[in-house]
Amino acid sequence: MGNTDGQARFVQLALCRILDANLDRAREGLRTIEEWCRFGLDNASLTDECKHLRQELAHWHTPALRAARDTPGDAGTALTHPDEAQRSSVQAVLQANLCRVEEALRVLEEYGKVYDPEMGGAFKQMRYRVYVLESKLTANQRQQRLERSRLYLVTAPTETLFATVEAALQGGLKLVQYRDKTADDEVRLSNAQKLCQLCRRYDALFIVNDRVDLAIAVDADGVHLGQQDLPIALARQLLGAQRLIGRSTHCPDDLHRAIQEGADYIGVGPVYETPTKAGRPAAGFDYVRYAAAHATVPWFAIGGIDTNNLHEVRAAKVDRVAIVRAIMHAEQPMVTTQYFLAQLGNGRSEE
C-alpha cells in the first residue's frame, strides 16, 4: 500500500515536472517569435496573438507546477543539439521556435489530460492557434521580403550559374528566379535544388520560372508564370496560400487581370527589346508609366535593362527591376549587383 502511494506520488511529481518544463518551453518559444513580430515585422496583430497565447500559458503555469521543478536533478538540461548553437537566419530562428512551441503544446495536451481534464482541450486549441500563427507568419514573411526586394535576378543557363548567382547574393541580392527553357528535367531539378539551398544561405527568396511542379519539389518560395503558362488559380491550388505567384504582363489588361486573379507580384515589360526574349516587341514606357500609376502589387520592370539605361528606367517611376544578362553576363556580378542595388535604393524614384 505504502509502495503504491509512493509510486503515485512519483508519477504525480513527474507529471508536474513535465508540465512545468513544457509550459516554460512554449512560453520562451512564443516570446522569441513575438519579438520578431514586434520589432522585425512591426505587426501589431501577430504580436498580440503571441502575447495572448503566452498569457494563457501563464494561467496554467500554477505555483504547484513550478514547485515541482528540480533543475539540478533534470537529466535533460545538459542535452543540446548542434543546430541550437548556430542559426543561419531569422527564418531559421522562427522555424525552430515554432517547432518548439508546437511540440511543447502537444506534450502539454497529452500529459495535461492526466493532470486536469480541462488541460487537454485547452492546449489542443492553442496548438491549432500556433499553426495559424505559423501560416500567417510564413505568408507575411514572404510578402514582406518581396516588398523589400528592388532587384530581381532571373537566371540564364551559363557555365558559371552557381558562382554568378552566389556573387550576386554576396552583393546583397535577395530575390532570384531560376529560368532555364531548354535543360532536361533532371538537370533543372538538380539546379533548382542547389540554387534554392544557396538562396536559403543568403536569406534570399527563390522562385522557379514556369514550373509549379519543380517549385513544389524543391520547396521554393514561389513560381513565375507568363501569359501562356498555367492559370494563377490552378497554381494557387497547387502551391497553397503561402507561396508567391508572379505573372508576366505586357499591357494594362494583363496587369489588371493578373492582380484580380491574385498574383503576388507582376513583371512589366519588355521595357526594351531584348535577345533574351527574342521576337517579343517592347511594351515601351507608356505601359511602364501605366504600371507605376495603377499596380497595387509589387511590380518589376523587365527587358533589356542594364547599368547604362537604368537612369532612364528610374525616370519612368520604376522602383523594382528584373535583370537577366546585365548580371548573368557581367564580368563582376557582385559589383554590378551592388551598383543596381545602390541605384534602386529604398525609396521612390525621382518625381
Alpha-carbon gap, residue 296 to 294, rounded angstroms? 6
332 is in an annotated binding site: no
Q: Nearest-5° angle of CA 92, CA 93, CA 96? A: 80
By rule CB under 6 A, what string of x and - marks binding of each residue 238-267 to ligand 3NM? ----------x------------------x
Nearer to ligand 3NM, 134 or 180 (CB): 180
300 is a contact residue toward ligand LCLJCK34 (CB under 6 A): yes
Residues in 152-211 at the binding interface with ligand 3NM, rule: CB under 6 A: 154
CB of 207 to ligand LCLJCK34, least distance (A): 8
Q: Is 133:49 a contact under the CB 8 Å cutoff?
A: yes
299 is a contact residue toward ligand LCLJCK34 (CB under 6 A): no
By rule CB under 6 A, what string of x and - marks binding of each residue 125-164 to ligand LCLJCK34? ---------------------------x-x----------
CB of 127 to ligand 3NM, least distance (A): 44
226 is a contact residue toward Mg ion (CB under 5 A): yes
88-100 as b/e: b if 16+ CB within 10 A: eeebeebebbbeb
298-309 as b/e: b if 16+ CB within 10 A: bbbbbbbbbeee
> Interacting stretch for Mg ion, rule CB under 5 A, among 74-82, 154-162, 208-216, 309-317?
208-216
302 is a contact residue toward ligand 3NM (CB under 6 A): yes
Count the Cβ atoms, other than its own, within 10 Å of residue 52.
13
Residue choice 322, 323, 326, 327 for contact with ligand LCLJCK34 (CB under 6 A): 322
120 is a contact residue toward Mg ion (CB under 5 A): no
The burial class, CB within 10 Å (0-12 / 13-18 / 19+), for 168 is buried
136 is in an annotated binding site: no
> How distant, in Å, are the alpha carbons of 215, 266, 283 from that of 261?
20, 11, 22
> Interacting stretch for ligand LCLJCK34, rule CB under 6 A, among 3-11, 46-54, 222-230, 332-340?
222-230
> Interacting stretch for ligand 3NM, rule CB under 6 A, among 24-32, 82-90, 107-115, 298-306?
298-306
Cβ-Cβ contacts under 8 Å for 326 (sequence gap 6 or more): 305, 306, 307, 336, 340
270 is a contact residue toward ligand 3NM (CB under 6 A): yes
Residue choice 20, 102, 210, 264 for contact with Mg ion (CB under 5 A): 210
229 is a contact residue toward Mg ion (CB under 5 A): yes
Nearer to Mg ion, 212 or 301 (CB): 212
> Interacting stretch for ligand 3NM, rule CB under 6 A, among 107-115, 190-198, 231-239, 268-276?
268-276
Q: Is 266:247 a contact under the CB 8 Å cutoff?
A: yes
Residues in 223-282 at the binding interface with ligand LCLJCK34, rule: CB under 6 A: 224, 226, 229, 246, 248, 267
325 is a contact residue toward ligand 3NM (CB under 6 A): yes
158 is in an annotated binding site: no
Residues of this chain that interact with ligand LCLJCK34 (CB under 6 A) are: 152, 154, 177, 179, 181, 209-210, 224, 226, 229, 246, 248, 267, 300, 302, 322
Residue numbering of the annotated binding site: 177-181, 209-210, 229, 248, 274-277, 304
Residues of this chain that interact with Mg ion (CB under 5 A) are: 210, 226, 229
